[in-house]
Structure 1
Amino acid sequence: MSVTHPLLKILKVNILELYTEERDILDYNLNLAPFCRRLEDIFTLGLKTGNNWFVKPGYWSWISKLPRLKNPTFDQTVYFVKDCQKTLTVEGKGRLLIRAALVKKNLDVVVKLLKDDRLLCETWYDESSIIGNEILSEILVSLLVQLKTITFDLNLKNASYLDTTWDIPVYKQYEFVPCESLGIHFQEIDGHMIVLSVDKGSVAAEDGKVKPGDVLDEMFGESLKGVKKGKVQEVFQTYKGIPVYAAFIKACECNGNVFRPLKHILRELGIDPLNNNERRCEEIDEINIDDKAPHAILEDEETETTPVHGPDGSASYKVTYIGQCTLGVDGRVERIEDGVIQVLESKDRINEPVTIAMSETGIVVTSEKDKKEILNHSYTEVSACGRRTDYIQHFSYIAGETSCNLSKDFVCHVFHAPTRDMTKVILCAIAQGFQRTHWFL
């Protein structure tokens, strides 16, 4: 009686479909995703949970533990996946490993190395598995060896959505001329930089390269997935004066449909890539205009709405600057509490009438007496803002000497507003600055 398995039969059909195309297999080949899903089903079948019942097992977990130096080419593939900053989960790492191994033609090595280490194999797979079965695993290896005759020309940089899907988006890499700004407004959502609008006549708008709904994925070779606030501007400024190299995940697939993982996000943002509805900057300024920073909300205000910015996108208010205190390397929002008290109890209080203005890019504080600028912080330097519940007319923001993720010297600046309502409005204005212009190039 022959020994076989339904998944191996389907995999054989998948391979035949790829083989009969008689051309290189690209990311957008319709047979690629079903084939990769079948491979993942085989690698996942019979996978043990190990000692941790609360974590979903992943085949990358054991692949990353395979013996080194037995196959240098495969070792390089594993190191590449480990170092990739665009995949953060075991699912994403496993999928990238499969794609990279297809390109390098060494996917069969994965199963061979595990078969040679029976203890490792028995640790990770039970009797229901294909990989853990001596005969079925031999059949699998023979099928994987056949893949060496197929050329997979896959873009391994296109990996930022592998954590959630096997669907591969359209990936475009551009070289822009040296410029002061690209003219892109974008917002970080779920670790991805979503383009909200593109300024008309800007560098990014040339030839329709970048459109609302696209995702800024990489700049100057650095991944932007899940980066901290200010990292995008930091990278842009570091390479200022030379051509700008950036990569974008396009909102629309080759078939014209919206990339599935972006559908609900773009719907919530009011962006329809299919209609190419480039939203005006004034409309973008109104996104989340009523959202407050969590630490700026008092219990009795949770149902209120607070418009703060003027039609030009700016907001300014006359307040009193009380003073400042140093916080060292700790710029967390929790430091607002003791920072306010420390300034109020200090003998070095300033108590100077000022105008605090929230512009498109940052906070500027100007003396009412001589109109000189006292403070100027970009939103990339501001780590927190808020107030105490017992001093509701006082508010403060914490800023570092450079971008938040690099700063080692945070300072808490404390102000007093004429009314409780003004304090609330100012904090909301600062919070909206975070949402709108932390992400502008």
Structure 2
Amino acid sequence: MAPKDPLLSSLKVCVLNLQSDEDSTITDASRHLSSCCELLELVLRKGLQQPVLSLVHRDYWHCFEQLPHHDTCSRLSALSLAVEQTRVCRKLLSAQGRGRYLLRLALNRKTLPQFITHLLHTPRVLEWYSPTLSILRNEEFLEPFMSLLLVLSHMQFKLDMENCSFLDESCLLPVCEMYEVVPCREVGMVLRYLSGRVFVLELVPGSQAHVDKFVRPGDIIDEINGTSLRNSKCGQAGVLLSRLKGCPLSMRVLRWRAHDGTMYRPLVKLLRALRTENPTLQLNPAPLPNSVPPEQTPPSTSQCLKEGRIVNIVQFLGKASIGLFGGKEVLQQAIPQVLQQNLPSKEVLLDMKETHLTCTERSTKQELFEHHYPEISCVGRYGQPDYTIFAFCVADSPETPQSGFCCVALKASTIKECEEIVCRIAAGFKHTEWFV
């Protein structure tokens, strides 16, 4: 009977599990991804010998890093590019993190079998592995290992390479999302620095971040406008935000809650330390398996889901040009001007995002308009006789404001919903530095 290696047996099971996943594309949310990466890492470390009289602990990253130096032709160009991309990534601080990044890069590009083949054909690097312990130098184990890598290369991986700030600690990565903010005087986040991470400690009531409800206390600000905050010193994020005051912001946010709803494991100790500093920090317990998280509660009858977001179902009543003044004082005259046109109303979906709002006809899915909050000069509710009608004024042509303003009128289902929509739109533009 042919000998078996427990690592290869486990890796085979993991690869089969990845194949059996319902989604054809494997992302960071895939249940078996981290296990697969951990097993690949163990295989590449098995039998790796440490150098004599050296203070540096050798890892498999050092093997891949050496391969371009021993290249005699251009056949290693793909590996050279991947190694260089890994080396210059500022979010990686250790050889362990760089090795994991390179593995993810190779899975995305379907090049992992080629990388291992290059290693096997580089004797000066391959001799770092023990001939008796290593899978890479055992012919009976090498063939099934390469077969598994070939299977992986036929799968579709779509891993977020920018979400790599925790690769130094774990193959399991946090939920990572982008948060876009309109140009504002202040975002409204109180930040704390722990172990080179920038945590959101609390949100200032009434601020842009508090209104958007996108960032939560306990989350990590990983990047601002493309600038990494990994290994940041105290105050670094504040200095960066001060330089960008009045500019649109794009933040990469790492969630403290993992894909499965539990607390992200590598953050447990840091969150406890954060809570010691601020006992009022609320880290709600994970929901029960059969419960629905608050942010995923079913929408009301006047709301529906669109691309995972809850949007309002309202009636579009029309719009009308109102002249060169777009202040709130004109709304009470502008709304009747729209209603006097007696246009047939349209059922539309009003989606109020972090930086702009869109209006789409529900039946045809045709987009009627899209306006960024800085383009909106005022918003308000109609008075008697109908308190469910609301409207906002926007420049007819944002490029040439002197062309005048138009009033866009809509009708909500209830007075309460009308008030909520008006407040949400107002919150979107009242924090901005620029007004039309």
Shorter-chain TM-score range: 0.5 to 0.7
Write the distance in 1 (CA, Å) between the matches of 2:35 and 2:96.
Answer: 16
Does residue 218 of structure 1 match 2:234?
Answer: no
Q: Structure 2: how far apart are the matches of 1:122 and 1:12?
A: 26
Residue of structure 1 aligned with 2:284, choices 271, 274, 295: 274
**Alignment check: 8 A CA contact 2:177 2:254 kept:** yes
Q: What residue number does 1:193 align with?
A: 198
- The residue that corresponds to 2:267 in the other structure is 262
2:113 pairs with 99, 102, 108, which one?
108
Task: Mark the CA change 1:149 to 1:181 in structure 2 (over 3 Å): closer, same or farther.
Answer: same
Encode CA deviations 1:365-386: one digit per residue, 9 max, x unaligned.
xxxxxxxxxxxxxxxxxxxxxx
TM-score by structure 2 length? Answer: 0.60
| Structure 2 residue ranges without an equivalent (≥5) | 276-280, 287-436
CA distance, structure 1, for counterparts of residue 248 and residue 158 of structure 2: 27
Partner of 1:398: none
Amino acid at match of 1:249: L
CA RMSD of aligned residues (A): 2.0
- CA drift at 1:159: 0.8
Query: Which AA in structure 2 matches 1:205?
Result: H
Question: Quick one: which amino acid aligns to residue 38 of structure 2?
Answer: R
Tell me what 1:95 maps to. 100
Q: Which amino acid aligns with 1:61?
A: H
Between 210-219 and 181-190, report the one with greater CA deviation.
181-190
3-state DSSP of counterpart to 2:103: helix
Name 1:10's counterpart in structure 2.
10
Cα distance in 2 for partners of 1:70, 1:160 equals 31
Cα 1:275–1:128 change in 2 (3 A) is closer
Structure 1: which 5+ runs fail to align? 277-441
Structure 2 counterpart of 1:49? 50
Q: CA deviation at 1:261?
A: 1.6
Q: Point out the more displaced range, 187-196 or 123-132.
A: 123-132
The secondary structure found in structure 2 opposite 1:265 is helix
Distance 1:75 1:152 in 2: 21
Q: What amino acid sits opposite 1:57 in the alignment?
A: R
Shift in alpha-carbon separation, 1:228–1:124, aligned structure 2, 3 A: farther
Correspondence for 1:80 among 85, 88, 98? 85
Give per-residue Cα distances to partners, 1:261-317, cap 9 Å, x unaligned.
Answer: 2112222322342169xxxxxxxxxxxxxxxxxxxxxxxxxxxxxxxxxxxxxxxxx
Conserved 8 A contact 2:193-2:233: no
Distance 1:64 1:272 in 2: 44
Which secondary structure state, in structure 1, belongs to the residue aligned with residue 241 of structure 2? helix
Question: Does the 8 A contact of 2:219 with 2:256 survive in 1?
Answer: yes
Contact 1:184–1:199 (8 Å) recurs in 2 = yes
The size of the alignment, in residue pairs, is 276
Q: Does 1:61 align with 2:62?
A: yes
Shift, 1:186, TM fit = 1.1
Moved over 4 A (4+): none
- Matched letter for residue 28 of structure 2: D
Tell me: CA distance 1:124–1:234, structure 2 relative to 1, closer, same or farther (3 Å). Answer: farther
Q: Secondary structure at the residue paired with 2:75?
A: coil
> Judging changes above 3 Å, is the alpha-carbon distance between structure 1 residues 126 and 188 closer, same or farther for their aligned structure 2 residues?
farther
1:24 is displaced (CA, Å) by 0.8
1:250 aligns with 2:255: yes
- How much has 1:4 moved relative to structure 2? 3.8
Give the C-alpha shift of residue 129 in structure 1. 0.7
**8 Å CA contact 1:111, 1:137 repeated in 2:** no
1:50 shift after superposition: 1.0
Which AA in structure 1 matches 2:10? I
